[in-house]
Amino acid sequence: MARFCRAAAGLVVLAIAACTSAPVALVALPPAPAAEVRASGAGASVLLRDVNLPGYLDGFPVVLDRKGSGLTVSQDAEWAERPSMGVGRVLRDALSQRLDASRVLIPGDGRIPDADLTVEFAALDPQEAALHLDARWFFSCTAAGGSRGGRTQLQVPMASATPSSSFMSASHSTSCFSSAVISLMVSPLFARFR
């Protein structure tokens, strides 16, 4: 009986200690940095499809570092939203800043886009002192009948291996990616919409 009481008392102490630990901080990707250059005039409209991230990045633990197949995650921060939704939000915002809000359509808008943009991130990983972005993208031009795909890789320096540095670098790299995608929109594929 004394053994049972000691075990019960130990469980009570553990339960109380768990209640007094610091809460996990919920974080979201910050908005895209302001665009330096904005496309002028009317042009092609684009519908950004759902953004895909690798499963290990699309959970709530915040990945701080990746070395090979090993991941280091934050012990005191979690994503407030699914990362694929956050990256999609930041990418849509960055596209809107660089094109025009009326040219970047959202699902349910009712208008028929001139092009659909599908993006699949193979990596959006903090690695040592940089965030590595590796994304495959595909434009499907509904009006012109053409299509084009490609792959973009970027390295964005990180100040440190902290959650806040990861968030800022992820937002900045997504913004840089949007600029790269927009440069393709001024290519001959979209010439008839300019």
Query: Which residues lie below 8 Å from residue 89, measured CB to CB, with a gap of 6+?
Result: 29, 81
pLDDT in tens, the chain (194 residues): 555 455 444 544 444 555 556 788 898 888 888 877 666 666 788 899 999 999 999 999 988 888 888 898 889 999 999 999 999 999 999 999 888 888 899 888 888 888 889 999 999 988 878 889 999 999 888 766 678 889 999 998 888 877 888 878 888 888 888 888 877 665 554 554 44
Provide the pLDDT for residue 120.
Answer: 96
Cα separation, 139 vs 149, in Å, equals 6
Provide the pLDDT for residue 14.
Answer: 47
Cα separation, 109 vs 12, in Å, equals 54
Domain that residue 184 falls in: 2-193
CB 132 within 8 A of CB 70: no
CATH code for the domain in which residue 156 is found: 3.40.50.10610
Stated as kind and residue range, the H or E segment containing 130 is strand 130-141
Give the 3-state secondary structure of 154-178.
Answer: EEEECCCCCHHHHHHHHHHHHHHHH
Provide the pLDDT for residue 108.
Answer: 85
Stated as kind and residue range, the H or E segment containing 54 is none
Domains identified in the chain, total number? 1
Calculated CA dihedral for residues 30, 86, 52, 23, nearest 10 degrees:
100
Provide the pLDDT for residue 98.
Answer: 86
